[in-house]
A and B are shown apart, each in its own frame.
Chain A
Amino acid sequence: MAEASIEFKGSSFTLSVLHLKTSRLSGFRDDLKTKVAQAPDFFYLVPIVVDIERVDSSIDYQAVKLLVEEFKFTFVGFTGNVSKEQRKFIRELGFSFINSANSSVNSSISSTEKAEATTKAVKANEAIVVKVEQTKIFPQVSLFTDKIHRGQIRSGQQIYAKDQNLVIIGSVSAGAEVIADGNIHVYGSLRGRAIAGAKGHHQAQIYCQNLEAELVSINGNYWLSESMEQHWNSPAYIHLSDTELVSSKLI
């Protein structure tokens, strides 16, 4: 039998919930505007669920949706501890209603419980597949600056580029150690140890003109020289695919 082209699976995501405290849409709009203005990038295309527990059941649901979309959120659905009738009404209007397990996403419950609640809610809703990237709270990590070192890194020397990429114009000798929170570029031979993404940066990579390293490590995953046979003694770069290190030909 041919494999199905699609598959439904329950999965849990962290979604932002916007709690409405007033039924007056104008006040809501002003507050939202102020909030978004503080960090426009952060809120851009963020999936959002609107909690309507504390507002009038007669609120204009369509208007709420349009309002959050106006501020570039991705509207997902409504949630909150409301009556069965109201839920039914919302669904009839064509919106998703996400049930939370303990009827309300109480702010006092822990984040794991919240995640569970969301899972259950999503499952209860017959698998809504919401494909969203995990929202990053920090600005783009690619804003790393470069620390540039001209000359050899000798045996016994150690260089650390804190919160930076490390660029070495020269070779890294056996017994030397180069460490960066970002990427490492070696314009020369890499014979020592290179540790990229030291603070936990999955996308960090290590580039060198000649790979003869004692050890390479990215985000805690490491290789000793015996694992580098494929591109040994040639220009190569090392990166992470999921949790495995991969080496590729550089030029």
Chain B
Amino acid sequence: MARIIVVTSGKGGVGKTTSSAAIGIGLALKGHKVVLIDFDIGLRNLDLIMGCERRVVYDFVNVINGEATLNQALIKDKRVSSLSILPASQTRDKDALNKENVGKVLEDLGKRFDYIICDSPAGIEAGAMMALYYADEAIVTTNPEVSSVRDSDRILGMLASRSRRAELGLEPIKEHLLLTRYSPKRVEEGEMLSVEDVEDILAIPLLGVIPESQAVLKASNAGEPVILDTESDAGKAYQDVIDRLLGETVEFRFLVAEKKGILSRLFGG
């Protein structure tokens, strides 16, 4: 049975899609069969980040409505063959999805893939609820600032009360905290919440800390998920996330500000 993982946050712009893309590719590179679903109907982004926007013919809503088969809608990634993308519709809105049909699509996907990664839209409305409803695990993406933490807390409440697992009284959704856009320097200066602060408030296990990095923006614009940039801090941090998701114990990196040596200070780092 496939593991259904929702990448969610409540707040927008914290890095859900970037993280979904990175985690999707990362798991596929480890040899797993992975499908990435864009649940952000009407604000299609995942295809851009994945660099497959020109290959979208049919989308999730077409499949839901029976206008296309899964085979027609799934886009196979050109870099990693075990990864597929199910894009969102850009011309419809979130009401186009309903629980029953989404459940059917996920069931079909579950027969073919090991991991189903659901990229949730922001907010706590129908679209976000749909993305998390069938999840077995949740990666709660949070920026180290109070409003993002508050919204993540709200989403954690929804995971515990509004999901299928909650409604059926099954084992609760396994929750992971993914802290993104982390800047150890700004934490030291007291401008940003620390990892400990966020862990204390949300009280869920930490899956990863992605440092604030220029590489992320560059990767997004190029349609090359940042995890493929193995030189960048963010790429390495996402790699650690994959290892932890697969059950390995990996030490956390990039939590303290680098002390710059005299040479790099002189010549710029």
Chain B 170-210, CB within 8 Å of chain A: the 1/0 string?
A: 00000000000000000000000000000011110000000
Chain A nearest CB from B132 CB (Å) reads 14
Residues 141-169 of B, flagged 1 when their CB comes within 8 A of A and 0 if not, give 00000000011011011101100000000
Among listed A84-92, A139-147, A151-159, A223-231, interface-contacting one = A151-159
Interface residues of A in 161-199 (CB under 8 A from B): 170-171, 173-176, 189, 191
**A interface residues, how many (CB within 8 angstroms):** 14
Cross-chain contact A156 with B154 (CB below 8 angstroms):
yes
B160 touches A154 (CB 8 A): yes
A residues in contact with B156, CB < 8 Å: 152, 154
Contact yes or no, A174 B150, CB < 8 A? yes
B76-90: contact bitstring with A at CB < 8 Å (1 yes, 0 no)? 000000000000000
Query: Closest CB-CB distance, B139 to chain A, in whole Å?
Result: 17
Residues of B within 8 A of A189 (CB): 200
CB of A232 to closest CB in B, whole Å: 16
The reply to whether B203 and A170 form a contact with Cβ atoms under 8 Å apart is yes
- Who on chain A is nearest to B155 by CB? A154
- The answer to whether A157 and B203 touch across the interface, beta carbons within 8 angstroms, is no
Q: Is the interface of A mostly helix, strand, loop or mixed?
A: loop
Closest to A191 in B: B201
- Residue in chain B with minimal CB distance to A154: B157
Contact A155 B203 (CB under 8 A): no
Within 8 Å CB of A156, what residues of B? 153-154, 157-158
B201-233 contact mask (Cβ, 8 Å, vs A): 1 or 0:
111000000000000000000000000000000
Docked Cα-Cα span, A228 to B119, in Å, equals 41
- Whether A175 contacts B154 by the Cβ 8 Å rule is yes
Q: Which of A154, A173, A174 has the most CB of B within 10 A?
A: A154
Contact B153 A174 (CB under 8 A): yes
Q: Nearest residue in A to B10 (C-beta to C-beta)?
A: A155
Counting chain B CB atoms within 10 Å of each CB, which of A156, A174, A176 scores highest? A156
When chains A and B are docked, how far (Å) is the Cα of A152 from the Cα of B177? Answer: 15
Shortest beta-carbon distance from B86 to chain A in Å: 30
Give the residue name and chain of the A residue nearest to B146 (CB).
Answer: A174
Contact status of A173 and B160, CB under 8 A, knowing A154-B154, A156-B154:
no
Bound-complex Cα distance A156 to B150 (A):
10
**What separation, in Å, do the CA atoms of A156 and B202 have in the docked complex?**
14
Query: Which residues of A are found within 8 Å of B161, using beta-carbon distances?
Result: 157
Please report the C-alpha to C-alpha distance between residue A175 and residue B203 in the assembled complex, in whole angstroms: 16
How far is B201's CA from A175's CA once the two chains are assembled, in angstroms? 12
Q: Which of B150, B153, B200 has the most CB of A within 10 A?
A: B153
B157 contacts which chain A residues (CB < 8 A)?
A: 154-157, 176
Question: Which of A151, A173, A191 is most buried by chain B, counting CB atoms within 10 A of its CB?
Answer: A173
Q: Which residues on A sit within 8 Å (CB–CB) of B201?
A: 171, 173-174, 191
| C-alpha spacing A147/B153, complex, angstroms | 23
- Distance, CA A156 to CA B200, complexed state (A): 18
Provide a sorted-by-A list of 26 A–B residue pairs whose CB atoms are within 8 angstroms.
A151-B160, A152-B156, A152-B203, A154-B153, A154-B154, A154-B157, A154-B160, A155-B150, A155-B151, A155-B154, A155-B157, A156-B153, A156-B158, A157-B157, A157-B161, A170-B203, A171-B201, A173-B153, A174-B150, A174-B153, A175-B150, A175-B153, A175-B154, A176-B157, A189-B200, A191-B201
Residues on A close to B: CB < 8 A?
Answer: 151-152, 154-157, 170-171, 173-176, 189, 191
The 8 closest A-B pairs by CB, nearest first: A154-B157, A155-B153, A155-B154, A156-B154, A157-B157, A173-B153, A154-B153, A154-B156
